């Protein structure tokens, strides 16, 4: 067990709020702690915006503690008002049950099932009698205090149904039940869950006379767009590869804003802190590649991540093809010579014995409108032959530049063609 798992989370930026830093440090350092994160199955897939608490769970599990992954088969029928400006669409029990199973399967990629508990809160809510719950649990909550919660205050302006108002009580009861059944002493969630988590710690204290704790993680915001993390031009970036392809998933991480790379590497990779800092200092683009590879390997597989890395590198180039920047990531073991692009447009070339003037080649291949435009592109640093920048406008491409009878020529980052010798 790690000497201080709380400090590990803190150094990596996971901690936003907590009920008692000293008490949580002591708890995690001295005991095998059962802890939980809840996931409401409002859809049949999680997206990357859900992943921060998952990564925190993963790190605590690797430190020797036991995660309880709780899927909200019951609370998912209501919908958490936290962070929402309007009520969620109410889903049928059948849809919620289907979504819950899909999410469980996704989470098992991040959380080892060998040392974890997977539960569904429908187990204790579905057969509960309403009057019994009101008398035994509802009586322990102050409406005045509930109204001070940020998740409630925000929605009072736009309208909060009585159904949603009950959500805090239900989530608090989850903590009580998990404490009762498994001895759970810690709940984790996003920063918008603070009110719900504190309500749970207080309920456990009142009903069981036990001290339990809560941790929240910061809300992730894209530095350039101001959007919540996990959004792309096409919408949410899903863990389900049928909703977001593995390549698009990789590219989402690869296109991270420069200002966010180190922070996201600390969150979403297992690389040591000092190594992350060194990589980011050496090459921000190499850091992006490693981030994308590691995040994709975790969500899908190392094999799928390698394919995406090679495909992206073949299209857009590799930032550290010769692995000059030290890293413990498995990305360093991938042979970039295997990178091929199957879907590139192709231009067939009859190569003269003396070679071909590169601006002419670019114009003939349709990468530039004219030789003059190609010259200007070369002078501006935007022309590449087999991932090598061509800076001399008088450069002549010869047979040796076409290994195995073909070459990749790029005009900018995204205008690419494979040149094949006839």
Strand, coil or helix: what is 260? helix
Confidence class for position 154, pLDDT limits 50, 70, 90: low
pLDDT digits (tens, 9 = 90+) for 203-247: 999 999 999 999 999 988 888 778 888 766 567 899 999 999 999
CA atoms of 98 and 161, how far apart (whole Å)? 26
The dihedral over CA atoms of 22, 26, 27, 31, expressed in degrees to the nearest 10, equals 170
Which residues in the chain are classed under CATH 3.40.50.620? 5-217
Backbone angles phi, psi at 56, to 5 degrees: -65, -45
The DSSP output letter for 88 is P
CATH of 231-335, one of 1.10.240.10, 1.20.1250.20, 3.40.50.300, 3.30.360.10: 1.10.240.10
Confidence of residue 90 (pLDDT cuts 50, 70, 90): low
Mean pLDDT of 358-366: 94
C-alpha 377/C-alpha 389 separation (Å) is 11
The C-alpha atoms of residue 254 and residue 292 are separated, in whole angstroms, by 5
Residue-by-residue DSSP string for 336-381: GGG---TT--EEEE---TT-EEHHHHHHHTTSSSSHHHHHHHHHTT
DSSP letters, 166-184, are: THHHHHHHHHHHHHHHH--
Domain 5-217: give its CATH code.
3.40.50.620
C-alpha span between 179 and 203 (Å, rounded): 11
Whole-number pLDDT of residue 89? 59
Whether the predicted pLDDT of 1 surpasses 60: no
| Category of 323 on φ-ψ map: left (φ > 0), alpha (ψ -120 to 50) or beta | left
82 in helix, strand or coil? coil
pLDDT value of position 326: 96
In the predicted structure, residue 88 carries a pLDDT above the cut 70: no
Confidence of residue 417 (pLDDT cuts 50, 70, 90): confident
pLDDT of residue 259 exceeding 90, the answer is yes
pLDDT band at 83 (very low <50, low <70, confident <90, very high): very low
pLDDT at residue 163 in the model = 65
Res 124: pLDDT: 93
User: Which residue spans of the chain are classified as CATH 1.10.240.10?
Assistant: 231-335
Which class is 346-421 in CATH?
Answer: alpha beta
Place 79 in a pLDDT band, splitting at 50, 70 and 90. Answer: low
Cβ neighbours of residue 178 under 8 Å, at least 6 residues apart? 34, 36, 68, 70, 119, 184
When mean pLDDT is compared across 82-91, 268-277, 323-332, the lowest value belongs to 82-91
Average of per-residue pLDDT across 287-291: 97
Q: What is the pLDDT of residue 84?
A: 45
Backbone angles phi, psi at 51, to 5 degrees: -80, -20
Domain(s) labelled CATH 3.10.290.10 in the chain stretch across 346-421
CA distance to 39, 142, 212, per residue, from 188 (Å): 11, 23, 12
C-alpha of 119 from chain center = 23
The conformational region for residue 412 under phi > 0 = left, psi -120 to 50 = alpha, else beta, is left
Mean pLDDT of the chain: 88
pLDDT band at 151 (very low <50, low <70, confident <90, very high): low
Strand partners, 221: 228
* Residue pointed to by tokens 């159904």: 163
pLDDT digit string (tens) for 28-70? 999 999 999 999 888 899 999 899 999 999 999 999 999 999 9
Binned at pLDDT 50, 70 and 90, residue 175 comes out as very high
Identify the weakest region by mean pLDDT among 279-283, 331-335, 411-415.
411-415
> What is the number of H-type helices and E-type strands within the chain?
18, 15
Distance CA 210, CA 323 (A): 53
Angle between helices 273-282 and 261-268 (to 10 degrees): 150
pLDDT of residue 80: 52
């Amino acid at each position: 067990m790690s000497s201080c798992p709380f400090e590990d989370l803190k150094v990596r930026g996971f901690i936003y709020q907590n009920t008692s830093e000293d008490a949580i440090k002591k708890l995690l350092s001295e005991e095998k702690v059962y802890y939980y994160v809840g996931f409401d199955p409002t859809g049949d897939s999680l997206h990357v915006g859900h992943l921060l608490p998952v990564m925190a769970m993963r790190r605590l599990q690797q430190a020797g503690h036991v995660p309880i992954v709780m899927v909200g088969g019951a609370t998912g029928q209501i919908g958490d008002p936290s962070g929402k400006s309007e009520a969620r669409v109410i889903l049928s029990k059948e849809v919620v049950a289907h979504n819950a199973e899909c999410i469980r399967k996704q989470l098992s990629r991040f959380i080892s099932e060998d040392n974890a508990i997977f539960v569904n809160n429908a187990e204790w809510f579905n057969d509960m009698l309403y009057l019994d719950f009101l008398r035994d649990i509802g009586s322990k909550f102050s409406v005045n205090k509930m109204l001070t919660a940020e998740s409630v205050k925000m929605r009072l302006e736009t309208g909060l149904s009585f159904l949603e108002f009950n959500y805090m009580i239900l989530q608090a009861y989850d903590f009580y039940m998990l404490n009762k059944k498994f001895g759970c002493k810690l709940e984790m969630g996003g920063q918008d869950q603070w009110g719900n988590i504190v309500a749970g710690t207080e309920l456990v204290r009142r009903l069981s006379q036990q001290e339990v704790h809560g941790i929240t993680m910061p809300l992730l915001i894209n530095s350039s767009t101001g959007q919540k993390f996990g959004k792309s031009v096409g919408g949410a970036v899903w863990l389900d590869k049928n909703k977001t392809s593995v390549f698009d998933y990789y590219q989402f991480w690869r296109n991270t804003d420069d200002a966010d790379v180190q922070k996201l590497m600390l969150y979403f990779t297992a690389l040591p802190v000092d190594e992350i800092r060194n990589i980011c200092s050496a090459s921000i683009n190499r850091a992006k590649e490693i981030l994308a590879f590691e995040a994709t390997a975790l969500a899908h597989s190392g094999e799928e991540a390698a394919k995406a890395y090679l495909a992206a590198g073949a299209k857009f180039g590799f930032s550290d093809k010769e692995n000059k920047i030290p890293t413990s990531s498995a990305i360093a073991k991938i042979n970039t010579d295997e990178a091929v692009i199957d879907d590139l447009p192709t231009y067939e070339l009859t190569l003269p014995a003396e070679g071909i003037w590169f601006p002419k080649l670019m114009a003939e291949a349709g990468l530039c409108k004219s030789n003059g435009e190609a010259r200007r592109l070369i002078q501006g640093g935007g022309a590449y032959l087999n991932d090598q920048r061509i800076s001399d406008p008088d450069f002549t491409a010869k047979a040796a530049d076409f290994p195995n009878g073909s070459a990749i020529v790029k005009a900018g980052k995204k205008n690419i063609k494979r040149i094949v010798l006839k």
